[in-house]
Chains A and B, each alone.
Chain A
């Protein structure tokens, strides 16, 4: 079969292994606690920051919604974010107070919300010299999603930084930029940001290719 849009150099390179959906039971493999299964000694889960981590402790919560407006109750999400100083900490180590990487999931429990316990990231450098506004990279995997959806979560109390962010400003439609802004809520003296991900249709979240 003729490959449409094959790259001229493709004959010189191996082809990437093709993606497949993570399917309905992704939780047994990558989110053991969410599946209700026994966990191992160390799991990669949704507490990126311990209470003694530097920075502002926050919780980030949300739902994932399909094109019919229904909750996606079997999503698996990975988060990647800088520390409070805007630096990534690649070395994943559960002994440390903060890790840049975490995982969360939606299930049929807990109102089908995902949540991350973390700290608010600092501004991350951009090659242009204008810093990127604070953000968390999120990748969404689920049954029905053939290749992960990559997005970014920004914060609604960073209006000025968001207005200047070189990545956010690359999105042509200002209305669509708003789909990436999490809303601050305060509950029980804790700071929480809500970020609902709409994979299709009205208010569809912006997804990136990079």
Chain B
């Protein structure tokens, strides 16, 4: 494949959160002080990326209701059963097919299955909190899970994360690689959150909110939240060399 004519729409770094966002305390010592080195002409190294169609996935990799079931005492996780789904498109609205979408989250009580999480809310024996899938040929992805709970964290004296699901998407190259968080429509913790508030632009926050989608809910079974992901637009450069 030739990458000579490939280009991605420039990332708007005033739209994304800045590295240094002091309301989120950990960013203070973890943000570069020097300017980023802008590559005027990204090379094949930046314009290419992995394709995961040959990664062998398990049958329940995108179903968190079933993928951490205990063999000894099979049961379902406790919490609000939901489908989380959406489409991955680029900035020109073009679907991004066959791309890897991964997610991880706390359980219904806001507790992560991670040894460093010491929050007193208990683990759920039937919930692991990790999922992955590839988008289909039209860019759609879907997970089935339980809605995560909010949890406290040591930032301000009384900071709580809104309910959220961490979402990771690759897109067509390492230039489009993105990790974000999906929040839930209407959650009053969203505007209080120092991590959400690393964004300066209220419209950018809207891009991270999953919407209740009654049409895609399953009666007497589970609700649905729709969360579309937009990755950088892919361009062709028509006149490269003068």
Chain A interfacial positions (CB closer than 8 Å to B): 1, 3-7, 10, 13-30, 32, 35-38, 40-42, 44, 66-68, 70, 72, 74, 78, 80, 82, 88, 90-95, 99-101, 108, 124-127, 132, 135, 137, 139, 141-150, 152, 167, 170-171, 176, 199-201, 204-210
- Evaluate contact between A18 and B54: CB separation under 8 angstroms: no
Q: A21 to chain B: which residues have CB within 8 Å?
A: 24, 26-27, 179, 195, 198
Interface of A: prevailing SS: loop
- Evaluate contact between B55 and A25: CB separation under 8 angstroms: no
Q: A16 to chain B: which residues have CB within 8 Å?
A: 9, 11-12, 15-16, 91, 178, 207, 230-232
Q: Indicate which residue in A3, A25, A29, A108 contacts B102 across the interface (CB closer than 8 Å).
A: A29
Q: How far is the CA of A206 from the CA of B37 in the complex (A)?
A: 7
Q: How far is the CA of A93 from the CA of B55 in the complex (A)?
A: 6
- Evaluate contact between B10 and A145: CB separation under 8 angstroms: no
Tell me which of A29, A37, A93, A209 has the highest count of chain B C-beta atoms within 10 A of its own C-beta: A29
- Evaluate contact between A17 and B112: CB separation under 8 angstroms: no
Tell me which of A40, A91, A135, A210 has the highest count of chain B C-beta atoms within 10 A of its own C-beta: A210
Confirm or deny: B128 has a beta carbon within 8 angstroms of a beta carbon on chain A: yes
Q: Indicate which residue in B14, B21, B92 contacts A13 across the interface (CB closer than 8 Å).
A: B92
Which residues of chain B from 144 to 192 have a CB within 8 Å of any chain A CB?
A: 166, 168, 174-175, 177-181
CB-defined A-B contacts under 8 Å, sample of 21: A6-B14, A14-B92, A16-B11, A18-B17, A19-B180, A22-B168, A25-B112, A26-B179, A28-B113, A28-B129, A35-B113, A36-B115, A67-B29, A88-B44, A91-B50, A94-B56, A100-B50, A127-B4, A149-B19, A208-B38, A208-B46
- Evaluate contact between B117 and A25: CB separation under 8 angstroms: yes
- Evaluate contact between B204 and A15: CB separation under 8 angstroms: yes
Q: B33 to chain A: which residues have CB within 8 Å?
A: 67, 200-201, 204
CB B66 to nearest CB in A, in angstroms, measures 13
- Evaluate contact between B15 and A14: CB separation under 8 angstroms: no
Which residues of chain B from 1 to 41 have a CB within 8 Å of any chain A CB?
A: 4, 9-19, 21, 24-34, 36-41
- Evaluate contact between A199 and B113: CB separation under 8 angstroms: no
Q: Indicate which residue in A10, A72, A147, A170 contacts B39 across the interface (CB closer than 8 Å).
A: A170
Known contacts A176-B34, A206-B37; is-contact A42 B14 (Cβ 8 Å) = no
What residue in chain A is nearest B129 (Cβ atoms)?
A28
- Evaluate contact between A200 and B36: CB separation under 8 angstroms: no
Q: Indicate which residue in B29, B37, B56 contacts A207 across the interface (CB closer than 8 Å).
A: B37
CB B108 to nearest CB in A, in angstroms, measures 16
- Evaluate contact between B45 and A19: CB separation under 8 angstroms: no
Confirm or deny: B78 has a beta carbon within 8 angstroms of a beta carbon on chain A: no
Kindly count the residue-residue contacts between A and B in the assembled complex, taking CB atoms under 8 Å apart: 279
Q: 1/0 contact trace for B53-76 toward A, CB 8 Å?
A: 111111001000000000000000
Known contacts A66-B29, A101-B50; is-contact A147 B16 (Cβ 8 Å) = yes
Q: Indicate which residue in A14, A70, A100, A148 contacts B230 across the interface (CB closer than 8 Å).
A: A14
Q: A18 to chain B: which residues have CB within 8 Å?
A: 15-17, 180, 199, 204-205, 207-208
What residue in chain A is nearest B175 (Cβ atoms)?
A210
Q: Indicate which residue in B11, B114, B202 contacts A35 across the interface (CB closer than 8 Å).
A: B114
- Evaluate contact between B43 and A22: CB separation under 8 angstroms: no
Confirm or deny: B242 has a beta carbon within 8 angstroms of a beta carbon on chain A: no
- Evaluate contact between B230 and A199: CB separation under 8 angstroms: no
- Evaluate contact between A200 and B91: CB separation under 8 angstroms: no
Q: A88 to chain B: which residues have CB within 8 Å?
A: 44-45, 48
- Evaluate contact between A144 and B27: CB separation under 8 angstroms: yes
Known contacts A18-B16, A29-B104; is-contact A209 B11 (Cβ 8 Å) = yes
- Evaluate contact between B11 and A42: CB separation under 8 angstroms: no
Q: How far is the CA of A99 from the CA of B181 in the complex (A)?
A: 28
- Evaluate contact between B10 and A206: CB separation under 8 angstroms: no
CB A205 to nearest CB in B, in angstroms, measures 8
Q: How far is the CA of A108 from the CA of B57 in the complex (A)?
A: 29
Known contacts A20-B17, A20-B195, A209-B36; is-contact A80 B208 (Cβ 8 Å) = no
